[in-house]
Structure 1
Amino acid sequence: MKSRRATVELSRLLRDSGGTVVSGGVVSRALSISRQAVWKAVRDLEEEGFVVTSVPQKGYILRELPGYDLAPSLIGSMISSDCPWGGEIHVFGTVPSTQEAAKRIGRQSEIDGLVVIAEEQTKGRGRRERIWISPRGAGLYFSVFFRPRMLPGRLQLVNLAAGLAVREAILTVCGTTVSLKWPNDLLFEGRKICGILSEASSDPERIRDCCTGIGINISLSKEDLAGAGLENAASLGSGTEPVHRGILCAAVIEKFYHLIEGLSADGGKTLLSRYREECSTIGKNVTVLTEEERFAGRAAGIGENGELLVENREGTRSFCAADVVHATPD
């Protein structure tokens, strides 16, 4: 399935109508499309699972929203109209990787903030080419393709923004507080619930495009996680209330967009200030693991480009990309 700007805006218009008739003329003017294009958009919504009644000589009434929580136009319509991201959302049953699909589709398009979602990834991956287990229907797996206005050396700030966006969205939508571990791992009761990967295409002067992939464990049981060798992972949907993945996805996209816009506006000052307040790694004794070494010390802060600053008796070191282990209390 695929949304487009017309189906997203029509979905938003019908949802806002409160079950009353919206005339074809009103829709045509609001969306700046022809009556024939309105009819086509209605048919496309019906294919996504919307129940829309056409009233002759009057217009259209929304009777029922899709039962499928990842209907793309529904997700797009739940994003505020002041956020341009999510105007085109592709939803696949199975893909090797939403990252690869989003980069392929995005680079053939002029759309900024294009989103690719999958029910299942067969080759999902995280940082340092690690495998991200993505079983069908058990999580929210999506990538956002966009074109930020920033220098290549500051890509880590995109990761920080994504981590903040997911943390805030989970709190807003689910009422669950998760901790943010540098650079962008989300932990629930000390176990990983979400992974984030940002990749960029750049030249020496600018980032041409960026793709950020987000995987959130939703409904994997402890047995599922243990069977996949993920004893240190957690699942967001372990509470009593089911998680509507579409609502959560829309919240992440919107919050992520505003953080990226703020990054472009002030060079990261606001983002870094907020991240330093919310990152659970700061102040902890940690061990930093790189491909070359292990470095133990106290996480002293976050640098201007999002790097982790770690200090011990040997001095202070900065790490741009590494695995971090939080020391556990005795």
Structure 2
Amino acid sequence: MMRMSREAAALCEILREAGGAAVLEEAIADSLALTISAVRGVVRLLEEEGFVIDTSRRGAYSLGSMPEYDLSLSCIGSLLRSAGLRSPEVFLFETLRSTQEMAKEIGRGSPEGEVVVFAEEQTGGRGRRDRRWISPRGAGLFFSVFHRPGIAPGRVQLISLAAGLAVRDAVKSLFSLELSLKWPNDLLREGRKACGILAEASSIGGGLLDCCTGMGINIRRPATACAGGDNILKEAFFLCDEVSPVHRGELAVAILQRFFDLIARLEVDGGRSLLSLYRDACFTLGREVTVIVDEGAVQGRAIAVGENGELVVSTENGEMQFCAADVIHATPASHKGAYI
């Protein structure tokens, strides 16, 4: 397990913004409120992460190159700072049963209440209705965000919508790649699933919520899929099928930036702007759908997304509202994915 050093992230930001120019260690010490000795310790932390730091000029540092590893916590932290985001606690694990479980465990004990947990691999990743999410090492961007938004418990579904919109917008911004957003938060490329999202919440009293939102984005097609392995992986869409390279750290920061922006809007205007953006993006609306719930299946036309994020479907028996359900579009290919 690795935990992001905020000092290392701040130093990385200083050196990145210097654009290769040398920065005096006295200036760094003043900026970070550290001693010269402590600055040197932070430089060593960056070097251990794979940063190349030029120390040829006595008493000064410049950035030679960033690490090849694309989930460097200091790099992620520096990008978060440059984006003007509040700085959550950030953790990286090689292998976890579930980023969702770990983020909740760490977050509930965190006084700041804002935690991001990444993993290279999940052995027990899950999606809606407790289905398994396949998370092979190096194939995706797997992370969970624990936070305490200022919203009423009855509006938790809006967090789920915000997450789907954030991933869609980040991918479009970085790669000019359009993903289709299916209610509530599945992201598809020509009917193949590119991302799954699980949003969970529990009340902690006083109207406050513990929220944990897990995201799994398919990045690089694993060798097992190419070699005729798991059919679910073969049918899924991976970003590197169409764009390359994909820097997972940069994508994660773009998603987090958009996600926290949407949550902030939600807290300010009660969801008005979020719902407007979501309704424009959701390609479920206007389609013939089959909605699968515990009681069975309902067929009809998706006509609206309600004020709390519920899907409104016009059926032969009248309008019905669904807060949580699986939706299959009339086109069979639209529900292929990475769930089993």
Instruction: Please report the TM-score for the alignment, with normalisation by the length of structure 2.
Output: 0.91
Match among 285, 288, 313 for residue 288 of structure 2? 285
Q: Is the 8 A contact 1:222 1:234 kept in 2?
A: no
1:107 aligned residue: 108
Name the SS of the counterpart of 2:68 in structure 1.
coil
Alignment of 1:53-202 (within 5 A): 53-55=54-56, 57-79=58-80, 80-85=82-87, 87-202=88-203
8 Å Cα contact 1:102-1:114 kept in structure 2: yes
Structure 2 alignment gaps of length 5 or more? 333-340
Cα deviation for residue 112 of structure 1 reads 4.4
Q: What's the TM-score, normalizing by structure 1?
A: 0.94
> For residue 270 of structure 1, what is the amino acid of its counterpart?
S
Counterpart in 2 of 1:229? Answer: 231
User: Where does residue 208 of structure 1 map in the other structure?
Assistant: 209
Displacement of 1:151 in angstroms is 1.1
Deviation at 1:72, TM superposition (A): 0.8
Equivalent residue for 1:239, pick from 242, 247, 250? 242
2:323 & 2:223 partners in 1: Cα distance?
Answer: 32
Residue 2 (structure 1) shift: 2.2
**1-structure distance, mates of 2:31, 2:113:** 22
Residue type of the alignment partner of 1:151: A
| Paired residue secondary structure (2:144) | strand
Give yes or no for contact 1:127–1:197 (8 Å, CA) kept in 2.
Answer: yes
SS in 1 for 2:3: coil
Separation in 2, partners of 1:239, 1:147:
36
Structure 2: how far apart are the matches of 1:240 and 1:82? 27
Give me the whole-angstrom Cα distance separating, in 2, the residues matched to 1:81 and 1:175: 20
Cα distance change on mapping 1:193 and 1:234 into 2, 3 Å: same
Q: Distance in 1 between matches of 2:111 and 2:57?
A: 37
- Label 1:108 to 1:302 Cα distance change in 2 as closer, same or farther (>3 A): same
CA drift at 1:128: 1.1
1:321 to 324, 329, 339: 324
Q: Name the CA shift for 1:189/1:220 in 2 (closer, same or farther; >3 Å).
A: same
In 2: Cα distance, 1:135 partner to 1:149 partner:
35
Output the CA distance in 2 between the equivalents of 1:9 and 1:281. 42
- Classify 1:203/1:145 alpha carbon distance in 2 versus 1 (closer, same or farther; 3 Å): closer
Report the secondary structure of 2:211's partner residue: strand
Q: Identity across aligned pairs (percent)?
A: 51
Spell out the pairing of 1:301-312 with structure 2 (5 A cutoff).
301-312=304-315
Contact 2:139 2:222 in 1 (8 A): no
Once the two structures are superposed, the pairs formed by residues 29-68 of structure 1 within 5 Å of their partners are 29-55=30-56, 57-68=58-69
- Give yes or no for the alignment of 1:28 onto 2:35: no
- Cα deviations by residue, 1:283-314 (Å, 9 ceiling, x for unpaired): 00101000112111110110000000001221
In 1, Cα distance between equivalents of 2:202 and 2:107: 12
- Cα distance in structure 1, aligned partners of 2:113 and 2:56: 36
Q: Distance in 2 between matches of 1:109 and 1:40?
A: 26
Preserved contact between residue 152 and residue 204 of structure 1 (Cα < 8 Å): no
Matched residue type, 2:315: N
Answer whether contact 1:288 1:295 (CA < 8 A) is retained. Answer: yes
1:113 deviates by 3.5
